[in-house]
């Protein structure tokens, strides 16, 4: 039942919160995230029942991400990568054997996923990537390259990696790699501004051998696969931001009612009310855009080969993501302002949301790239500012 999933998500969030609060202050990885997600059976939310999942609809999953987003963008990022990017790709492009070997255990939480497109020299433009693959003598492939700024990089059991063919740089392919094999070295990113409780890292592949059975989709289909994944990924970021705004809203109202200055609750001061009104607008507008984008994605899912539906979903999701990430940053900033000096401390939730929401304006398409994408979507291909 869809409602059961959302109830489990809520229970998960409530049990996780005090642990997350402490981990955040100690700037430590939240080691209970995966065990609790397993306990509430949330690691295969969207996966079909035949593969051990719970078959959440797009709307249920978006609502789940909204709830998870209340706990912070770091926690939500974990799900974005494991579920929205990796599991969704396996569901769409995985062979039956890959679904048995990877999708099923991932739905149980026995395999955690990462998704690796970005490289030191290829961020906004993944086509500048340097990771390469070539056919090896065993009929499989050999991969070499470096991926960085990868969510779940050092905790993942398997990673979807994108690389270009060594002899034909236009041919990009996607591979599923196991992290317990030879040829991969991983390193966490410690010195980061926010999301301290979840993993971001880099890894290097040196002569990493991938069996042919681990090619995801067809050879040369990598760029298409990556672009499709980003539609789901962006929707997940936008949905998480709706939750973050909601949490800021709840916190701001609670504090503004309780805090007394000049002989009355600060909620009675009109300039404080302006912040409350604007956070409310951030919430309602973002939520509406995310729900609309979810509908567009639903339409596309009903006919995945329909290019017009895919374009419509791509645009609606890009708009929702661009709007919601900025609204979430604004909402956290306003909530922090309402908390005054206390707001500047990580002991209170707005500061954490502010810092953690900042990265949402960078990953899965920076603000600038999404603006250009939306503008060229409206103006037409010939106005595209980047290729």
Residues in contact with ligand FAD by the rule CB under 6 A: 81, 115-118, 123-124, 149-151, 195, 200, 359, 362-364, 366, 368-369, 372, 386
**Residue 15 is a catalytic residue:** no
Cα–Cα distance for residue pair 305/361, rounded to 1 Å = 30
Nearest distance, CB of residue 85 and ligand FAD, angstroms: 7
Nearest distance, CB of residue 290 and ligand FAD, angstroms: 20
Nearest distance, CB of residue 321 and ligand FAD, angstroms: 12
Nearest distance, CB of residue 244 and ligand FAD, angstroms: 15
Nearer to ligand FAD, 200 or 214 (CB): 200
Contacts of 249 (CB under 8 A, 6+ apart): 276, 279, 280, 283, 331, 335
Nearer to ligand FAD, 336 or 360 (CB): 360
Helix (H, G, I), strand (E, B) or coil at 190: coil
Nearer to ligand FAD, 202 or 279 (CB): 202
Bridging pattern class, strands 132-135 and 158-165? parallel
The alpha carbon dihedral of 101, 119, 365, 72 has a sign of positive
Torsion of CA 144, 130, 82, 294, to 10 degrees: -150
| Residue nearest to ligand FAD according to CB distances in the complex | 123
Nearest distance, CB of residue 271 and ligand FAD, angstroms: 32
Angle of CA points 49, 53, 58, to nearest 5°: 95
Nearer to ligand FAD, 114 or 338 (CB): 114
H-assigned helices in the chain: 2-26, 33-39, 58-69, 73-79, 88-93, 96-98, 104-108, 222-258, 270-302, 307-338, 340-343, 349-358, 367-379
Q: What tokens does 192 get? A: 């980061």
| Separation in Å, CA 214 to CA 51, 142, 219, 299, 347 | 18, 12, 11, 30, 45
Nearest distance, CB of residue 147 and ligand FAD, angstroms: 7
Nearer to ligand FAD, 8 or 356 (CB): 356
Nearer to ligand FAD, 91 or 362 (CB): 362
Q: Where are the beta strands (DSSP E) in 108-199?
A: 113-116, 132-135, 141-151, 158-165, 172-178, 184-188
Choose, from 71, 251, 319, 364, the residue flagged as catalytic.
364
Catalytic residue positions, numbered: 364
């Amino acid at each position: 039942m869809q409602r059961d999933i959302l109830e489990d998500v809520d229970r998960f969030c409530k049990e996780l919160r005090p642990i997350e609060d402490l981990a955040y202050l100690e700037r430590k990885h939240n080691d209970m995230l995966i065990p609790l997600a397993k306990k509430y059976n949330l690691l295969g939310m969207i996966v079909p029942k035949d593969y051990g999942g719970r078959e959440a609809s797009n709307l249920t999953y978006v609502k789940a991400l909204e709830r998870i987003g209340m706990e912070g963008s770091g926690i939500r990022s974990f799900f974005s990568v494991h579920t929205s990017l990796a599991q969704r790709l396996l569901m769409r492009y995985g062979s039956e054997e890959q679904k048995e070997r990877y999708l099923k255990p991932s739905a149980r939480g026995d395999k955690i996923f990462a998704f690796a497109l970005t490289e030191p020299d290829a961020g906004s433009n993944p086509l500048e990537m340097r990771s390469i693959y070539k056919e090896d003598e065993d009929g499989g492939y050999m991969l070499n390259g470096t991926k960085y700024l990868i969510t779940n990089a050092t905790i993942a059991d398997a990673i979807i990696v994108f690389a270009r063919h060594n002899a034909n740089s236009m041919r990009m392919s996607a591979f599923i790699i196991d992290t317990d094999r030879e040829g991969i070295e991983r390193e966490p990113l410690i010195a980061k501004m926010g999301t301290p409780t979840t993993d971001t890292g880099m890894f290097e592949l040196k002569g990493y051998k991938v069996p042919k059975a681990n090619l995801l989709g067809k050879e040369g289909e990598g760029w298409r696969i990556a672009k499709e994944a980003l539609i789901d990924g962006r929707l997940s970021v936008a949905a998480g931001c709706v939750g973050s705004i909601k949490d800021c809203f709840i916190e701001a109202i609670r504090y503004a009612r309780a805090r007394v200055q000049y002989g009355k609750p600060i909620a009675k001061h009109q300039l404080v009310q302006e912040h409350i009104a604007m956070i409310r607008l951030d919430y309602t507008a973002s939520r509406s855009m995310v729900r609309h984008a979810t509908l567009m994605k639903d339409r596309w899912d009903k006919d995945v080969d329909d290019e017009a539906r895919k374009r419509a979903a791509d645009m609606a999701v890009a708009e929702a993501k661009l709007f919601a990430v900025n609204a979430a940053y604004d909402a956290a900033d306003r909530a922090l302002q309402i908390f005054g000096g206390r707001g500047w401390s990580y002991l209170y939730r707005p500061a954490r949301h502010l810092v953690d929401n900042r990265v949402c304006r960078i990953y899965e398409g920076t603000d600038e790239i999404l603006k250009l994408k939306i503008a060229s979507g409206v103006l037409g291909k010939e106005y595209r500012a980047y290729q």
